[in-house]
């Protein structure tokens, strides 16, 4: 068999060395370039900059040392190879020993990970079904870890043991039915076990009815969450994406005055858009005049922006955009009009619903979270409860679980008085995807009652002493006269 | 390249016209040249994808730090040296797209299917050399379109490499869903055309153009792997094309395949009703899951070949290897739902997909055991190719085992879209397939360029990359298990995540180390193309047919007749032979058994009728179905 070793010319060696050197030094300059000048850099927060710097410098220094040793060895190797004509570095041996070193160091690494990072994993589940997931996990971990260790050890041990040796010939061994049948059947049995267990766990979590579950609607949008409680009537009001008004009716609830106001706004918008469309030539002229009084040098971006605007008007983009917007709003108006008469839709059930910016839950009470999305897909992830479900526009999804630990309990267990549960987004959904969360508080029933009592109804019942405006053509049947809650546009009530 | 002069010297051995530079190096129809084109393009894309990963890793490790270098490279996307959140997503998206499609599908399968199918089957070229050329140029065009998207005002696609609508469908949902997204879709459509042209070619060449004596059960495992890969691609890529077309329609022509009940900030209520975002996911993953095997199987094929050659041993359980490839191929079409357990899909369907997914672990386990047994009592020669093949096996084990967690619907509730997934697929698909690709490059470099790569640099490349890859991806499991979601620009969403900052720094440092290790490779690769040591015809003492061709490339591969094949490809270390190898084309009156035929002496010659024995039922069935026969 041929020698796999090459001679090492000085030039090659030099190249290799300088290559690795730049490799080693380049990042240093990267770090060095980090701008320490701006004193806004928050002085060491969670981590101290100096520690992290030290760590990274240490890495590079270490790399440099290793490099030096290597170069040194090569130098000797190359020189003596020239002299004796024999390879100094026996790469077969080096690689074989590297396998063993890798195995030992790797095991140490895995042990380190399990011990130190293992501590950072999630604490015991804070939900009833969570235990069954953790249990499933432990079984899977136990089995796969054994397989992992056995196969990886064999792999690297074989590399070492059966490395090429003078005069050694490999075994001509290519087939053994019995062996192959065994190692097909054994994994099959083990996997059957995992599948069956997994199936029952999954079934219990997702397909077992929980008649006592309270419902909460979780509404996801770019970029945040809202929770809705059903209120005293224990019934959620209807909702529809066509009713959404970010200022007064974020969730698009079926509240007649609000929806009518929205429709009127849309009608007005459409009218304005139509007027814009008709007067485009005049606008064009006016803007062109404006532009002629400006100059690129003096106005910079304002100039180019205006230029772009003019261009859009000239080539018809503006007009088609206006038409599209009118059409879209037209469709929305039609849809609203079509539902307005529906008694099922506008049944007043929404009035006493409560929309909140925190989720409060009672310990040991089963809950079904019903998810709605406003715009794109989100995912409601609550790792401490071992719960996750996608939140999909146009489709209702849900997840049922029972919280079993209060926030306080968790704070004690974690020895962290700041600890809070959160629900956060796990499906990529746009620029602030990484920061889309809502706080969850798990508490006792009385604490919960106190909290929910304080939350505002979507539509406050009108105070008896407040003189109600004369209800012209009102179609509200019973109940006190309603007005939209505080942050409404004042004009809303005028619709009646 | 084995220089034009050397090429000319051989011209007389074969009918040969002097070709223009353009015909030879650019619009070439020669499979060996096309294979090199795929490889070089794949390497270039790989470098781009890797640099991107390092850029966004800097952000994750030092979120408060300002990197002048970032602003230098990215300009307005990293104002003041801090990566923009939108551009972070763009980097992640294009990194994933490039790695999955451009490097590990086209770069890996395109390179080695093209190089090896004709050479190892004993054919003068592909069934349709012209289509083959088109396949490369569609791929090239597609790469250009994808890179172009970086120069678009609103930036490249940034909805993740899976580009789920509505995020990807609505221009106003995020900047990256503007023109950049259109370019992404066009690039993918072109890519699919390329993949289909290639796939048809690979399949027909394997079925119809094998040399005399090259029955299916004497095919090297590489060819089997490429063959199944091509079938997978042919059946699944069209579905992605359909999904992409629907998405284009939704984006540009007002249809509602994937859209319903949407109110978008800055736009208002949309007209679309009746569509389903989940439909896209079904279509996408119907390709998406086979795609991971399209990536992995060629790497497994290469590994089988390299391990057998360098352990100087017959591959253990040839038939089992082929059957498990086939099992994996079939199963890979019916497990896509494991990506959708918690999308709101019917939970009962989830149970079915869970069962089918875990079944895949069986053929995968068989493959691992067979690799291990092949090494057992071998005479292992550590070439860089061999080391990378071993690396693949190691990653295949560690990454494959975590698939058992993710395939379990109950566990996936908490692991879905967490860093555990990132760890899993980077090991089993990313690292494993990249290592398979490196293994192939080191092993067949002499065949592609007529020269040898430097082994010493190869060893350094291997150990550095191997260790760095584990350092990068192993800790990510723990982050995932702690509930850290993927595709996060910063981990500030809950205070508990701060503890991972140091780990993120370690990962980034290791990623940079891995990056620099690739510099060694690049230098070795390009230097050796021109200045490497000249190779012998059969530098690894291998059995397969490609090493019976002359070192200098000629049209038609063999100067004279195509050699006849007398036995299986893995006859290493036979007791009755002095040498430890026995090339397939060397005449000899006995057939050998190393390919897994039952050890019965009763049928020493079964070229005509290889069936009728338990182990070969599969092949005879295949023969009947496809109606092919060895020439
Ligand atoms: C230098 C080596 C690499 C590093 C350091 C690296 C790092 C990463 C990281 C950290 C992410 C997750 C980012 C996030 O979720 O925010 C990611 C995503 C991804 N990477 Fe890599 N990666 C590397 C190589 C590869 C390879 C070889 C592949 C080939 C399969 C690959 C495929 C992907 C894919 C498909 C994604 C998902 C993109 C998405 O979320 O849409 N990467 N990479
Ligand atoms: Cu979100
Ligand atoms: Cu999959």
Q: Note the pLDDT tens digit of each residue in A199-226.
A: 999 999 998 888 899 999 999 999 999 9
Contact partners, residue A410, CB within 8 Å, separation at least 6 = A123, A126, A384, A419, A421, A442
Q: What is the pLDDT of residue A165?
A: 87
Mean pLDDT, range B609-615, rounded to an integer: 38
Minimum mean pLDDT range among A105-119, A147-161, B256-270, B361-375: A105-119
Q: Residues A81, A87, A93, A98: is their CA dihedral positive or negative?
A: positive
Give residue-wise pLDDT tens across range A457-477.
988 877 665 444 444 444 443
ipTM confidence score? 0.88
Contact partners, residue B325, CB within 8 Å, separation at least 6 = B221, B224, B225, B228, B297, B300, B301, B363
Residue B1 has pLDDT above 90, yes or no: no
Q: Which of B76, B154, B382, B389 to mutate to test the interface with A (most CBs of A within 10 A)?
A: B382
- By C-alpha distance, the chain B residue nearest A109 is B471
Distance B194 CA to ligand 1 centre (A): 24
List the single residue in B372, B409, B483 with the smallest CB-CB distance to A151: B372
User: What does B146-161 look like in DSSP terms, one character per residue?
Assistant: HHHGGGSTT-B--STT
The rounded distance, in Å, linking the Cα atoms of A141 and A146 is: 8
CB contact at 8 A, B389 and B437: no
Q: Which SS3 state, helix, strand or coil, does residue B482 take?
A: coil
Q: Name the pTM for this structure.
A: 0.86
In this structure, whether the domain defined by B292-326+360-534 belongs to CATH 3.40.50.720 is answered with no
Mean pLDDT, range B69-91, rounded to an integer: 86
Mean pLDDT, range A74-87, rounded to an integer: 67
Minimum mean pLDDT range among B187-196, B426-435, B487-496: B487-496
Q: Which SS3 state, helix, strand or coil, does residue A483 take?
A: strand
CB contact under 8 A, B159 and A428: yes
List the single residue in A55, A171, A174 with the smallest CB-CB distance to B318: A174
- Minimum-distance ligand 1 atom for the alpha carbon of B469: 2
Residue with the smallest CA separation from ligand 1 atom 8 is B53
Q: Which SS3 state, helix, strand or coil, does residue B204 take?
A: helix
Q: What is the pLDDT of residue B408?
A: 95
Give residue-wise pLDDT tens across range B303-341.
999 999 999 999 999 999 999 999 999 999 999 999 999
Residue B434 has pLDDT above 90, yes or no: yes
What Å distances lie between residue A109 and A102, A438, B305, CA to CA?
10, 36, 31
Q: What is the pLDDT of residue A209?
A: 86
List the single residue in A5, A113, A144 with the smallest CB-CB distance to B474: A113
Domain boundaries, chain B: 26-200, 292-326+360-534, 561-631
CA angle A453/A459/A462 to nearest 5° reads 95
Q: What is the pLDDT of residue A167?
A: 82
- By C-alpha distance, the chain B residue nearest A115 is B478
Q: What is the pLDDT of residue B286?
A: 94
Q: Which SS3 state, helix, strand or coil, does residue A63 take?
A: helix
Helices (H), B209-317: 221-252, 277-311
Q: What is the pLDDT of residue A358?
A: 95
CATH number corresponding to A351-454: 2.60.40.420
User: What does A81-95 look like in DSSP terms, one character per residue?
Assistant: HHHHSS-SS-HHHHH
Strands (E), B430-490: 451-452
Mean pLDDT, range B404-431, rounded to an integer: 95
pLDDT band at B619, cuts 50/70/90?
Answer: low
Percent of chain B having pLDDT more than 70?
A: 90
Q: What is the pLDDT of residue A52?
A: 57
The rounded distance, in Å, linking the Cα atoms of B104 and B112 is: 11
Residue with the smallest CA separation from ligand 1 atom 20 is B96
Q: Which of A203, A247, A374, A376 to mutate to test the interface with B (most CBs of B within 10 A)?
A: A376
Identify the H or E element spanning B86: helix B85-97
The rounded distance, in Å, linking the Cα atoms of A140 and A137 is: 5
Residue B609 has pLDDT above 80, yes or no: no
User: For residue A255, what are its two tokens?
Assistant: 């509240």
CB contact under 8 A, B494 and A132: no
pLDDT band at B54, cuts 50/70/90?
Answer: very high
Residues of A in contact with B314 (CB under 8 A): 172-174
CB contact at 8 A, B307 and B386: yes
Contact partners, residue B283, CB within 8 Å, separation at least 6 = B239, B240, B242, B243, B246
Q: Residues B129, B132, B136, B137: is their CA dihedral positive or negative?
A: positive
Which ligand does the CA of B291 lie closest to?
3
Residue A38 has pLDDT above 50, yes or no: no
Residue B268 φ/ψ region, left for φ over 0, alpha for ψ in the -120 to 50 degree band, beta for the rest: left
CA angle A121/A125/A131 to nearest 5° reads 115
Residue A6 has pLDDT above 70, yes or no: no
Q: Which SS3 state, helix, strand or coil, does residue A253 take?
A: strand
Q: What is the pLDDT of residue B606?
A: 36
Mean pLDDT, range B482-499, rounded to an integer: 91
Could you give the angle at which helices B617-626 and B318-331 cross, rounded to 10 degrees?
50
Q: Kind of pairing, strands A367-373 and A397-401?
A: antiparallel
DSSP classification of residue B269: E
Average pLDDT, chain A: 81
């Amino acid at each position: 068999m041929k020698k796999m070793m090459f001679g090492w010319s000085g030039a090659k060696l030099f190249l290799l060395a300088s290559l690795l050197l730049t490799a080693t030094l380049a990042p240093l300059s990267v770090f060095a370039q980090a701008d320490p000048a701006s004193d806004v850099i928050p002085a060491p927060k969670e981590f101290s900059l100096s520690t992290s710097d030290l760590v990274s410098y240490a890495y590079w220094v270490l790399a440099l040392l290793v490099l030096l040793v290597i170069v040194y060895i090569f130098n000797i190797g190359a020189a003596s190879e020239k002299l004796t004509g024999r390879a100094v570095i026996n790469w077969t041996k080096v690689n074989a020993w590297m396998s063993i070193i890798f195995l030992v160091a790797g095991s140490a690494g895995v042990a380190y990970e399990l011990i130190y990072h293992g501590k950072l994993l999630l604490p015991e589940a804070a939900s009833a079904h969570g235990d069954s997931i953790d249990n499933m996990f432990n079984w899977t971990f136990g089995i796969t870890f054994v397989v992992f260790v056995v196969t990886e050890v064999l792999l690297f041990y074989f590399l070492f043991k059966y490395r090429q040796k003078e005069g050694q010939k490999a075994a001509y061994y290519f087939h053994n039915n019995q062996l192959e049948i065994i190692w097909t059947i054994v994994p099959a049995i083990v996997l059957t076990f995992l599948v069956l267990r997994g199936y029952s766990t999954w079934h219990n979590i997702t397909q077992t009815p929980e008649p006592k579950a309270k419902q909460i609607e979780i509404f996801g949008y770019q970029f945040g969450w809202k929770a809705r409680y059903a209120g005293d009537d224990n019934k959620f009001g209807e909702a529809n994406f066509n009713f959404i008004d970010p200022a007064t009716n974020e969730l698009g609830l079926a509240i007649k005055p609000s929806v009518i106001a929205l429709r009127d706004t849309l009608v007005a918008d459409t009218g304005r858009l139509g007027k814009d469309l008709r007067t485009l030539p005049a606008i064009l002229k006016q803007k062109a005049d404006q532009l002629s009084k400006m100059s690129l040098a003096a106005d910079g971006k304002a100039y180019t922006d205006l230029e772009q605007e003019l261009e859009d008007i000239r080539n018809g983009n503006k007009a088609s955009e206006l038409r599209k917007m009118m059409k879209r709003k037209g469709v929305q108006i039609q849809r609203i009009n079509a539902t307005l008469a529906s008694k099922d839709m506008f049944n007043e059930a929404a009035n006493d619903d409560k929309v909140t910016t925190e989720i409060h839950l009672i310990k040991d009470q089963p809950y079904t979270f019903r998810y709605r999305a406003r715009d794109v897909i989100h995912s409601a992830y609550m790792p401490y409860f071992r719960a996750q479900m996608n939140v999909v526009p146009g489709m209702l999804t849900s997840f049922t679980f029972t919280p079993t630990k209060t926030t306080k309990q968790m704070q004690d267990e974690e020895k962290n008085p700041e600890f809070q549960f959160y629900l956060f987004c796990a499906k990529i959904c746009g620029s602030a995807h990484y920061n889309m969360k809502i706080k969850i508080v798990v508490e006792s029933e009385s604490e919960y009652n106190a909290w929910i009592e304080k939350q505002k109804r979507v539509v406050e019942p009108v105070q008896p002493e407040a003189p109600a405006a004369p209800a012209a053509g009102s179609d509200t049947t019973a109940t006190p006269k309603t007005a939209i809650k505080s942050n409404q546009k004042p004009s809303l009530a005028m619709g009646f | 390249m084995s220089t034009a002069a050397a090429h000319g010297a051989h011209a007389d051995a074969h009918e040969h016209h002097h070709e223009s530079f353009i015909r030879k190096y650019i619009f070439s129809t020669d499979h060996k040249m096309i294979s090199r084109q795929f490889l070089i393009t794949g390497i270039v894309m790989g470098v781009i994808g890797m640099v991107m990963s390092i850029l966004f890793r800097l952000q994750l490790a030092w979120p408060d730090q300002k990197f002048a270098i970032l602003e230098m490279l990215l300009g307005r996307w990293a104002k003041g040296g801090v990566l923009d959140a939108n551009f972070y997503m763009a980097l992640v998206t294009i990194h994933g797209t490039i790695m999955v499609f451009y490097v590990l599908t086209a770069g890996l399968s395109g390179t080695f299917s093209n190089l090896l199918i004709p050479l190892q089957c004993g054919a003068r070229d592909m069934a349709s050399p012209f289509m083959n050329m088109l396949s490369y140029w569609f791929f090239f065009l597609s790469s250009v379109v994808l890179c172009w998207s970086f120069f678009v005002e609103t930036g490249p696609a940034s909805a993740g490499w899976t580009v789920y609508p509505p995020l990807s469908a609505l221009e106003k949902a995020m900047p990256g869903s503007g023109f950049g997204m259109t370019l992404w879709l066009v690039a993918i459509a072109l890519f699919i055309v390329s993949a289909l042209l290639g796939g048809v070619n690979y399949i027909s060449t394997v079925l119809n153009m094998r040399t005399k004596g090259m029955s299916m059960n004497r095919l090297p495992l590489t060819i089997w792997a490429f063959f199944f890969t091509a079938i997978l691609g042919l059946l699944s890529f069209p579905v992605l094309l359909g999904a992409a077309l629907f998405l284009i329609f939704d984006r540009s022509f007002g249809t509602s395949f994937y859209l319903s009940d949407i109110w978008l900030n800055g736009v208002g209520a949309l007209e679309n009703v009746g569509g389903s975002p989940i439909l896209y996911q079904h279509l996408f993953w119907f390709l998406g899951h086979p795609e991971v095997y399209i990536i992995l199987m060629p790497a497994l094929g290469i590994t089988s070949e390299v391990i057998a050659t360098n352990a100087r041993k017959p591959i253990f359980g040839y038939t089992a290897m082929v059957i498990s490839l086939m099992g994996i191929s079939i199963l890979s079409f019916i497990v896509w739902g494991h990506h959708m357990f918690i999308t709101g899909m019917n939970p009962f369907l989830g149970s079915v997909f869970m069962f089918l997914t875990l079944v895949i672990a069986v053929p995968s386990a068989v493959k691992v055991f067979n690799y291990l047994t092949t090494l057992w009592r071998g005479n292992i020669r550590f070439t860089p190719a061999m080391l990378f093949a071993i690396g693949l096996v190691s990653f295949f084990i560690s990454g494959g085992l975590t698939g058992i967690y993710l395939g379990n619907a109950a566990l996936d509730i908490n692991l879905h879209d967490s860093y555990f997934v990132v760890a899993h697929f980077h090991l089993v698909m990313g690292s494993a397939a990249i290592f398979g690709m490196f293994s192939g490059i080191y092993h067949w470099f002499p065949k592609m360029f007529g020269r040898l790569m430097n082994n010493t640099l190869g060893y350094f490349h291997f150990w550095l990359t191997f260790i760095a890859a584990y350092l990068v991806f192993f800790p990510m499991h723990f982050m995932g298990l702690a509930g850290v979601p993927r595709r996060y620009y910063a981990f500030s969403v809950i205070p508990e995540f701060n503890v991972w900052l140091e780990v993120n720094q370690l990962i980034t440092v290791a990623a940079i180390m891995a990056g620099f290790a690739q510099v060694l490779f690049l230098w070795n690769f390009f230097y050796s193309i021109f200045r490497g040591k000249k190779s012998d015809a059969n530098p690894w003492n291998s059995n397969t047919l490609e090493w019976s061709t002359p070192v200098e490339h000629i049209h038609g591969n063999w100067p004279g007749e195509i050699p006849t094949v007398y036995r299986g490809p893995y006859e290493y270390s036979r007791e009755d032979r002095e040498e430890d190898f026995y090339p397939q084309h060397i005449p000899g009156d006995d057939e050998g058994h190393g390919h897994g035929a039952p050890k019965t002496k009763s049928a020493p010659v079964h070229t005509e009728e290889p069936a009728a024995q338990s182990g070969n039922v599969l092949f005879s069935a295949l023969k009947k179905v496809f109606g092919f026969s060895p020439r």
